[in-house]
A = this chain, B = another copy of it.
Amino acid sequence: MKILIYVSFLGTKYSGYQIQKNAPTVQQALCEASERVFGFKCDVTGCSRTDSGVHANMFCAAVSESGKSGIDTTIPIKKIPLAYAAVLPNDIAVFDAKEVDDDFHPRYDVEYKEYVYKIYNRSISDPFMADRSWHYPRVLDDGAVERMNEAAARFVGKHDFASFMSSGSDVTDTVRTIFEAEVKREGALIEFRVSADGFLYNMVRILTGTLIAVAEGKIEPTDIDAVIESRDRKRAGVTAPPTGLYLNRVVYRD
């Protein structure tokens, strides 16, 4: 067996998930914590890469003994979250754990993932939302938010999302299926929620930037189909900053 851990983290202090030299990453923190929890070096494989500054309400990672296909431990599975709590920094938490098969893969076995993007929409920023949202100071009216939601509905379906991928990715198959995409306002927060079977590099951030272009009247909701068909990054909106992005849910097959 492997152990699948359910993790939440505040991404502010981390250079993303994936381990790298000379920069703190979530994966490195989880590797170090896993070694202290289990008493031996571990491999920690995440459900996705995330960029620097991006957050997670739910991120999944599989833990196995380093170089082996599984893990052998006497720690009861229910005690795993508390064991991690004792050794993790306070901006990362393991809130649940499950036993999974040796051949389980936290990235390839994903059925769908959901992201939430938070836009803080007041003229004056909120210190408690800094680094946790995109501060967009021009206050959008209800009509603008409704247009964003109409545009988001046009993202839904199986499409080639090449227009919504940053360069620097070696992915060649840019077809993905978006299951749900919705924009809602709650007080000062405008939240964009999107689920799909997979996401391209910076895809949610570019979808968000495109929704803001719709709010500003630069793109009409009905233009979205043409933006998708163009397969042209320049037709989409800006790449929204990482601070507003949260991986919110990971659902596996079975």
Contacts and interface: CB of A to CB of B under 8 A. Distances in A.
B8 A91 contact: no
Contact of A93 (B55, B90, B93, B125): B125
Interface string A50-72: 00000100000000000000000
Given A90-B131, A130-B90, A124 B82 contact: yes
A143 to B, nearest CB: 24
A91 B130 contact: yes
Contacts of A128: 8, 10, 55, 132
B93 A123 contact: no
Contact of A127 (B93, B125, B127): B93
Most buried by B among A8, A124, A126, A131: A124
Interface of A, helix, strand, loop or mixed by DSSP: loop
Query: Within the oligomer, what is the number of copies of this chain?
Result: 2
Interface string A3-19: 00000111000000000
B85 A127 contact: no
A81 interface: yes
A179 interface: no
B130 A10 contact: yes
Contacts of A126: 8, 93
Interface in A108-138: 123-128, 130-132
Interface in A82-96: 82, 85, 90-95
9 contacts: A10-B130, A55-B128, A85-B125, A90-B127, A90-B130, A90-B131, A93-B124, A93-B127, A94-B124
